[in-house]
Amino acid sequence: MNKEQLDLLLRESDRFPPPHGMRLSYGTAGFREDASVLLSTMYRVGILAALRALKTEAVIGLMITASHNKVSDNGVKIADPSGGMLTQEWEPFANALANAPSSRDLVRLINEFTEKENILLDGSKSAQILVARDTRPSGEVLLDAAKNGIGSIIGAVAQDMGILTTPQLHWMVHVRNKGLESSELNYFDGLSNSFKWLLDSNPNNNELNDWDKRLVVDGANGVGGQKLELLKEKLNGLAIEIRNSGKGEGVLNERVGADFVQKEKIVPCNFGSQDVGIRCVSFDGDADRLVYFTVPSGSSNKINLVDGDKILSLFAIFIKEQLTILAARSKDTKIAFEPRLGVVQTAYANGASTQYLKDLGLEVVLTPTGVKYLHEKAAEYDIGIYFEANGHGTVLFSDYCISLLQPSYLELSNVFAGSEPHKAALRLLAISKLINQAVGDALSGLLLVEAILRHKNWSIHKWSELYQDLPSRQLKVKVVDRTAVETSNAETKVVKPPGLQEAIDLEIAKYPQGRCFIRPSGTEDVIRVYAEASTQEAADDLANSVAKLVDQLLGDGSSK
Ligand code: G16
């Protein structure tokens, strides 16, 4: 590092001292804490993003968001050149940077790391970082700190993309690194054009009845509702009504949004008896998750949830159907391609969904929680579909697969234009353009669900009846130190503290079809408990008894 760089780093980092007595940790999706303690973290993650851009010689993304967390929290996600999450190899460095006690320590760490990684800090190279934030009130000042961090590395430049959904920023990084246009307008055009194309390619051209035409969206009082308002202008034939759109109807994520709806299974604010039977969908705070639901008749505030597992199942059925049509091409075609289709879930996937997918003949793999794990696994297939039950997921197409779906390749292979295999291939191609290839995206996920329902002429009720979810319950327990729990086997077994797994096993054994696991959250200061059993009462009891075990052993006393 030359003297100019050293002086700049020391001077600037002195302006952003780390919070006293706090250990920050890079979690499931980056750093996430109460916004009041994050200034130095943002500054330092800005430096990290600049170094990553120098190392990869590509555009990197930095998104200020705490997604589903409460409004007083904030956080930061980094998008790697592919548009996916920051490589896990850099997470230890991210942790070390965030926790360096002084500016001198920070500079020493940067020096060591850049030497090891062969990153030249002499200003000879330039680096570009796209930055954005969601609608949180703390976002602006935290983004300024991140920009200062970027500006502390000579040659690095931040390009402020304004207020975006997280998946919009990831998409921008993905397409920018392919040398394509990456404005928000391009994003909306891409979505609306491929959506229209998919609707037009519907052989049955199904007219929906008025009942099924209506779609009501819960925007979690965040950025997703605002962006959907803009996208809506470009969509014909979809009657979308947006509530909790962040225009002062309520607080971000408070009794609204995908996380609330999926975990509590009750109606979000501003939904109720007027929505009985209508197709409803909830986004989370930064619009990278979506879950559908309906409000049943009756006086209770319960909903019928159509979660990420069912979205995955719908996508898998449709894609498999198109692949079957493509495989049934006439024998004089030369296409020699049988794409490997795989699905990726986590331990939170309802047991009934995993069984259903396996019964469809699909390869199902489990990974730990966090899109960084699911995405990586899904990318191993020609077409990889991944979804967490909480609604975070997408469909990945390999470059090879996309090249074989191109009209020019189909022509070469004698798959005649207008034939059913030709149409099936183009439908798959349209899906690859519609669904975000960088990360889970509520807006593109919604359009793909809507297009498929229209193709199949399915109501949400028909979709929901694909299989019957096993009753489940998810709880969280506040603990003194969540790192006290360590797990293995895709988070299904506790390995630390000793004895806890055996105690959980004894509880599970009491319930028919019982399944239960615990894991430390990587976004909140809690241990999560998930339980499944043959009845709702049993699932509730199992979750409660295991939560009690955790509380007795590790609790912070707040549940007493
Ligand atoms: C993030 C991750 C998701 C994960 C969720 C909850 O979502 O991207 O993969 O499921 O956190 O993680 P945890 O259970 O560790 O708290 P989001 O939408 O909050 O960014």
**ipTM of the complex, rounded to two decimals:** 0.95
What is the domain count for the chain?
Answer: 3
> Looking at the domain assignment, is residue 369 inside a domain?
yes
pTM: 0.94
> Looking at the domain assignment, is residue 559 inside a domain?
no
Enclosing domain of residue 55 = 3-182
Angle between helices 184-200 and 166-176 (to 10 degrees): 90
> Which of 182, 211, 243 is the last residue before a domain boundary?
182
**Which of 148, 151, 163, 93 minimizes the C-alpha distance to 127?**
151
Residue 37 shares a structural domain with residue 148:
yes
Residue 337 has pLDDT above 80, yes or no: no
Q: Please tell me the distance between residue 85's alpha carbon and the centre of ligand 1 in angstroms.
A: 12
Structure tokens at 82: 């592919």
Percent of the chain with pLDDT over 90: 83
Q: What is the pLDDT of residue 245?
A: 93
> Looking at the domain assignment, is residue 85 inside a domain?
yes
Pairwise CA distance, residues 95 & 100, whole Å: 9
Residue 449 shares a structural domain with residue 504:
no
Which CATH number belongs to the domain containing residue 521 in this structure?
A: 3.30.310.50
Residue 463 shares a structural domain with residue 543:
no
- Nearest atom in ligand 1 to 286's CA: 18
> Looking at the domain assignment, is residue 560 inside a domain?
no
**Ligand 1: which residues within 6 Å by Cβ?**
28-29, 67-68, 284, 288-289, 369-371, 388, 390, 392, 521-524, 528
Residue 560 has pLDDT above 50, yes or no: no
Q: What is the dihedral of CA 87, 92, 94, 96, to 10 degrees?
A: -170
User: What integer is the mean pLDDT of 333-345?
Assistant: 81
Atom 18 of ligand 1, residue of closest alpha carbon: 67
**Which of 269, 142, 174, 167 minimizes the C-alpha distance to 216?**
269
User: What integer is the mean pLDDT of 66-94?
Assistant: 96
CA atoms within a 13 Å half-sphere pointing along the CA-CB vector of 350: 27
pLDDT, tens digit, 9 for 90 and up, residues 462-491:
999 999 999 999 999 999 899 999 999 999
Which CATH number belongs to the domain containing residue 460 in this structure?
A: 3.40.120.10
Q: Please tell me the distance between residue 67's alpha carbon and the centre of ligand 1 in angstroms.
A: 8
Residue 200 has pLDDT above 50, yes or no: yes
Q: What is the pLDDT of residue 421?
A: 86
pLDDT, tens digit, 9 for 90 and up, residues 238-295:
789 999 998 888 999 999 999 999 999 999 999 999 999 899 999 999 999 999 999 9
140 phi-psi bin (left φ>0, alpha ψ -120 to 50, beta other): alpha
More confident residue, 408 or 127: 127
Bridge partners of residue 33, in order along the sequence? 74
pLDDT, tens digit, 9 for 90 and up, residues 119-140:
999 889 999 999 999 999 999 9
CA end-to-end span of the chain, whole Å? 54
Pairwise CA distance, residues 317 & 452, whole Å: 10
